[in-house]
Chain A
């Protein structure tokens, strides 16, 4: 666009727009900043009024997140030998002693296993299906594609009832495998639609050249199409991962002891005597940070991902 274009906004209007958008950005990020800052507060600091913007940072929240503690009587506490290690020392400062690890680490690992497992499976199945839909004449193609999309419109609770019953029969309730299959089924619609868009953009001539060179269809798919679609596959994978990572409704209804992920667990973190907000904030911070980083990596494909490929930039 030339500097003299009539459609170029004036300098003043650019400034005003920049100012307003910056203001909105600051306001919209405040809750997130508050989560992170609360995770470094002490219990009393976190609920003081007026709210504390400046405070002495501490990692109490993180220690409390990873441990379970009890609060012994003061005399008992004083009779104990000196604290062993930093974690114990921080717990003692709050008048508590550590009794063991909390379940947060486990829940976080469940989120990792289920997230990555279902992402890998969605991408594997999704890439195959997307390639077929993109390149071959599949009978009833449009109907099948619409069917795949429409499965996403079902309210999770509506599907959860029979899945709960079905999993109970099959012994899949509260297992990693059950959750991986479930999240794959939810994610696959996104994966197929997005990947089909990416594969549609790879010129057919590449494969045709490979076929003429003596590759089989399958070799052409593996050695020509897959490398070309790598960026698309990677960004689709991140979208699937974020969905599985954030999912709550199925997780809270279908898992309890064994395969529970972090989202249903974090709200249940309770400290010794009342809700431990710094620990909740610490859990939230650790849980949200990876997604924030991935979002920044994804920014080019963001629009495509959130609209099922309906809007491409």
Chain B
């Protein structure tokens, strides 16, 4: 018990000593932490447990008076053997893989260029970041305007640069372009996120490492692959983790852009889940669906974090 507070407390007269202590640190710690934990238990954990319970029933929220039957694992069984749901999973995976691919590619390149420290790089960085801070719903909705068939700005720009007639394709309509259109918007929005994190990584590399490499006459190409890339990798992996979790949950932007259509070409699992839960009102079934998605994202993230820690340790 030799911390300065106790020493001070012992050295001062009893009345002051009591004042120094006031509430014990332990009591303060609990008083300070408890409200947060309580709120999270009430609004995150309790609902999660409720979801788990509902997932074993055939409950429907729009029929609160109907008899609720315990159906065991039947909801899970139905979801995991449903080919439609597997195809929505594939759609989500397509979205996830390509958005991450483009965002890493463009984001890293931008960070690498900005790290040349040219004049005005601060201002440009701030401007580039803007799209990512905006409401995905509002921006996603406006992109439907840019993507309008025939008269949309995107169609015009494509015709202008490639000569493909603007009336011959539709970004959000049938023809297979829609899954790529949502990848474009997400990449536009979130590339700055990957860029910022890569930039932090690049700036964390001390100059002396490059100086030593120069002394050893390592080529710039070699320096890039043996110094820059490995040292930025943990940062890049962190960015991928964040984007991966976010895009697995993706709902707002895509819901407003395509609503899952045309057909079910862009029906990501979150959007499908919303339909099941709040349009078809299959509450029990969609609770099981939600649990499956949550376990998937949690499991994948945990495995990934282990890999990330290994890379960091190197």
Contacts and interface: CB of A to CB of B under 8 A. Distances in A.
Contact of A21 (B121, B146, B211): B121
A205 to B, nearest CB: 9
A132 B33 contact: yes
A288 interface: yes
A61 interface: no
Contacts of A267: 137-138, 141, 256
Contacts of A224: none
Interface in B254-310: 255-256, 270, 273-274, 277-278, 283, 286-287, 290-291, 293-294, 297-298, 301
Nearest to A296: B126
Contact of A249 (B23, B148, B251): B251
B124 A25 contact: yes
Determine the interface band of chain A, counting residues with CB < 8 A from chain B.
35 or more
B172 to A, nearest CB: 14
B293 A17 contact: no
B36 interface: yes
Interface stretch (A3-11, A68-76, A77-85): A3-11
A287 B135 contact: yes
A307 B198 CA distance: 12
A10 B287 CA distance: 58
Nearest to B203: A313
Nearest to A284: B138
A28 B127 CA distance: 9
Nearest to A311: B200
Contacts, number: 306
A35 to B, nearest CB: 5
A223 B185 CA distance: 47
A112 interface: no
A208 to B, nearest CB: 5
Given A132-B32, A161-B277, A280-B145, A155 B248 contact: yes
Contacts of B146: 31, 34
B89 interface: no
B5 interface: yes
Contact of A129 (B16, B33, B139, B297): B33
A302 B61 contact: no
A28 B242 CA distance: 22
A216 B251 contact: no
B142 A280 contact: yes
Contacts of A48: 151
Nearest to B271: A157
Nearest to A132: B32
B25 interface: yes
Interface of A: 1, 5-7, 9, 13-15, 17-18, 20-22, 24-25, 28-29, 31-32, 34-35, 38, 47-51, 125-126, 128-129, 131-133, 136-138, 144, 147-148, 150-151, 153-166, 181-182, 184-185, 188-189, 192, 208, 211-212, 214-219, 242, 245-246, 248-249, 252-253, 262-264, 266-267, 277, 280-281, 283-284, 287-288, 291-292, 294-296, 299, 302-303, 306-307, 310-311, 313
B48 interface: yes
Given A158-B51, A306-B196, A132 B135 contact: no
Given A14-B116, A31-B188, A181-B39, A303 B196 contact: yes
B229 interface: no
Contact of A24 (B4, B20, B128, B291): B128
Contact of B33 (A18, A144, A155, A182): A144
Nearest to B106: A24
Given A9-B116, A31-B142, A302-B129, A246 B39 contact: no
A212 B8 contact: yes
A241 B240 CA distance: 25
